[in-house]
Amino acid sequence: MPKNMADRLLEAVDEKENPSVVGLDPRIPRIPNHIKREAKENAFSPFEAVKLAIIEFNKGIIDAVKDIVPAVKPQMAFYERYGSQGAVAMEKTIKYARRQGLFVIEDIKRNDIGSTAEAYAEAHLGEVECLEGKKRAFDADFITVNAYLGSDGIEPFLNVCKKENKGIFVLDKTSNPSSGELQDRKIEGNGKVYELMAELTDKWGEELVGERGYSSVGAVVGATYPEEAEKLRKMMLRNLFLVPGYGAQGGTADDVIPCFNEDGYGAIVNSSRGIDYAYEKEEYQEYGPEAYEKASKRAALDMKEDILKSLEKGGKVPDGW
Amino acid sequence: MPKNMADRLLEAVDEKENPSVVGLDPRIPRIPNHIKREAKENAFSPFEAVKLAIIEFNKGIIDAVKDIVPAVKPQMAFYERYGSQGAVAMEKTIKYARRQGLFVIEDIKRNDIGSTAEAYAEAHLGEVECLEGKKRAFDADFITVNAYLGSDGIEPFLNVCKKENKGIFVLDKTSNPSSGELQDRKIEGNGKVYELMAELTDKWGEELVGERGYSSVGAVVGATYPEEAEKLRKMMLRNLFLVPGYGAQGGTADDVIPCFNEDGYGAIVNSSRGIDYAYEKEEYQEYGPEAYEKASKRAALDMKEDILKSLEKGGKVPDGW
């Protein structure tokens, strides 16, 4: 049996001794001016200028963090915002990051049923049939999915994961203030909605468990809900958690520790704005917008240290680190 | 107060005396060969060929049905499957359909939180800030959204709907076999999950109710669950239902009637495969693949008649039709 996607990601986590990942959320107003100036000069249209600016900005960050983090997490909304040119920027970002040896978790929260979900799965994780032969479109390593539609909205993603040896993270307990409106509701004769989702996620992943005991089917569990995370960690021993909400959303390093298993694995903590726009922060001001990528590198190192300290405090540093 | 998006859609429903819409789900293997041949000749790359084939195929269908239906519903997955070139095909399809006087319901089931959901809303319904000035990306009339994340995943869409006078349909009770896994679960001290979603959807739409009493915030309710639809209809008097599942998924015209209010309004019934690939069906074989659009036109007329007959049977034909 080959290593599954969780094994491969955890190998990279071990290599970098770092379970934190960098979100790539390009926001045009916050991209440094020197990049936008050059993009404008080289573009034929407003959307093309945006595309060039995003690609350039992301390359700077990817180069700066590639030796620090195991993966990057581009958030599709910030690319799709600019239509098809934004989609080009996503394709190029994924390709560039993978070439630099990073895993790519494409945060797309897609969901649909049957052959429609299959189309999304092929687009983002697999191959698609063109007029002559097959091609790869976005080709990420992992994507996020939303399971409101139940199993037949997820199976097409599982099929592609099996075939292509890729992975998904299912939205379970999200990091936002109103996530409880539905997710915290108690189901009769059962746990809460997020607990039902945890059971389903565990079941969906059971045929995709790798050498290290983790499935290629993980769960999204927000850093902002440590109590729920602790409960979920015990229910989902073989599912990796993708943990948003650290940093800009208010989650601290201590808050994310319940997402880890006792052996120090099991969670991947994301920070986006805090790393991408570190140059705007007082503590990294010395770099200035022209050297934004150096500020991002510093912030990525600080995040790593911050999480490692809390892992240490919690007695959850992996053996051998 | 200007007419809201529901008013405008219902005006078109009245004009065409038809509450059915055509889904645009391009599947390359089923697009007629003459279109694919020409696309291959004119394209520089495999994905560009796909793009050209999709646009041409869709134009044929749009031209054929534009006098029959009030709206089309392109399903994003079948465009996104082909990456950025697929996104171009979506942009062009939306633009072309709107120019032909059709409303466009972009079926994207997007979901995220805060400023991320805002990015999706701007991309698909509003304007986006580029390097110099604002532009429109996909610019549909309605989109579908998934509310697993609760109110702060929906508010950014509501804000853009208010500003741009556009609309959304929130996934409520979906048409697929496993939709009940989560959606039919009973919540303690409350109804089922889909009933909670109905309450929330009604609330989200309360500031967007138009002249005719319908909100620009509608709900997706599958044709395959007529009993649930009947219950939901009574709970959501001011929300339009977008009804998938008619035709290829097994829902009949009689099944969709509970989705309508007593006055004959309140639902928009979609058929995709049954119209797009009508030329493959025995009953429309006479047209052949070369005249696939004539088969689609015939099928769209037959669908209209089928639903009108059932509306008549149910005593729900709108006054004046």
Which residues of chain B are within 8 Å of residue A53 when distances are taken between CB atoms?
A: 131
Q: Which residue of A has its CA nearest to B245?
A: A113
Within a domain: residue B277? yes
Per-residue confidence (pLDDT) for residue A2, from 0 to 100? 77
- Quote the pTM value: 0.98
DSSP conformation letters of B104-166 = EEEEEEE---HHHHHHHHHHHHSEEE-SSSEEESS--SEEEE--TT-HHHHHHHHHHHHHHT-
Specify whether the backbone of B276 is left (phi greater than 0), alpha (psi in -120 to 50) or beta: alpha
Which residues of chain B are within 8 Å of residue A138 when distances are taken between CB atoms?
A: 83
Cβ within 8 Å of residue B153, ≥6 positions away: A176, A178, B111, B112, B113, B117, B145, B147
Residue percentage of chain B with pLDDT more than 90: 97
Which residue out of A3, A92, A109, A281 is catalytically annotated? Answer: A109
The nearest CA of chain B is from the CA of A123 a distance in Å of 4
The tens place of each residue's pLDDT in chain B, 321 residues long, gives 679 999 999 999 999 999 999 999 999 999 999 999 999 999 999 999 999 999 999 999 999 999 999 999 999 999 999 999 999 999 999 999 999 999 999 999 999 999 999 999 999 999 999 998 999 999 999 999 999 999 999 999 999 999 999 999 999 999 999 999 999 999 998 899 999 999 999 999 999 999 999 999 999 999 999 999 999 999 999 999 999 989 878 889 999 999 999 999 999 999 999 999 999 999 999 999 999 999 999 999 999 999 999 999 999 999 999
Within a domain: residue A55? yes
Which residues of chain B are within 8 Å of residue A131 when distances are taken between CB atoms?
A: 28, 36, 39-40, 46, 49-50, 53
Please identify every stretch of chain A with a pLDDT value under 70, giving residue numbers as ranges. 1
| Contact yes or no for B174 and A39 at CB 8 A | no
Cβ within 8 Å of residue B88, ≥6 positions away: A84, B51
The nearest CA of chain A is from the CA of B274 a distance in Å of 15
Decide if B159 contacts B151 (C-beta within 8 A). no
Distance CA B310, CA A185 (A): 38
For A138, which of B83, B146, B174 is closest by C-beta distance? B83
The nearest CA of chain A is from the CA of B259 a distance in Å of 20
Distance CA B258, CA B262 (A): 9
Give the single-character DSSP code of B45. S
| Contact yes or no for B123 and A40 at CB 8 A | no
Decide if B90 contacts B76 (C-beta within 8 A). yes
Q: Where are the alpha helices (DSSP H) in chain A?
A: 5-16, 33-42, 46-65, 77-80, 83-99, 114-125, 151-164, 180-183, 193-204, 226-235, 253-256, 273-276, 292-313
| Contact yes or no for A178 and B122 at CB 8 A | no
DSSP β-bridge partners for residue B142: B105, B167
Distance CA B170, CA A59 (A): 36
Which CATH number fits the domain that encloses residue A112? 3.20.20.70
Domain containing B146: what range?
5-312
Within a domain: residue A121? yes
Per-residue confidence (pLDDT) for residue A186, from 0 to 100? 97
Which residues of chain B are within 8 Å of residue A174 when distances are taken between CB atoms?
A: 113, 148-149
Exposure on the CB side of residue B208, measured as CA atoms within 13 A: 28
ipTM for the assembly? 0.97
Distance CA A143, CA A153 (A): 14
CB-defined contacts A:B, below 8 A: 227
Helix (H) or strand (E) holding A66, with range, is none
Decide if A148 contacts B148 (C-beta within 8 A). yes
Size of chain A, expressed as the number of residues it contains: 321
Which of B41, B48, B94, B131 is most worth mutating to test chain A (most A CB atoms within 10 A of its CB)? B131
Which residues of chain B are within 8 Å of residue A111 when distances are taken between CB atoms?
A: 109, 111, 146
Within a domain: residue A293? yes
Domain count, chain B: 1
| Contact yes or no for A77 and B147 at CB 8 A | no
Per-residue confidence (pLDDT) for residue B1, from 0 to 100? 60
Specify whether the backbone of B101 is left (phi greater than 0), alpha (psi in -120 to 50) or beta: left
Which residues of chain A are within 8 Å of residue B116 when distances are taken between CB atoms?
A: 25, 75, 77-78
Within a domain: residue B317? no
Within a domain: residue A318? no
Q: Token pair for residue A316?
A: 């959850």
Q: Token pair for residue A220?
A: 């999204």
Calculate Rg over the CA atoms of chain A: 19
Within a domain: residue B196? yes
Distance CA A194, CA A314 (A): 25
| Contact yes or no for B82 and A179 at CB 8 A | no
Decide if A216 contacts A161 (C-beta within 8 A). yes
For B146, which of A80, A148, A181 is closest by C-beta distance? A148
Within a domain: residue A320? no
Nearest to B124 by CA among B168, B83, B176, B185: B168
Which of A130, A184, A194, A273 is most worth mutating to test chain B (most B CB atoms within 10 A of its CB)? A130
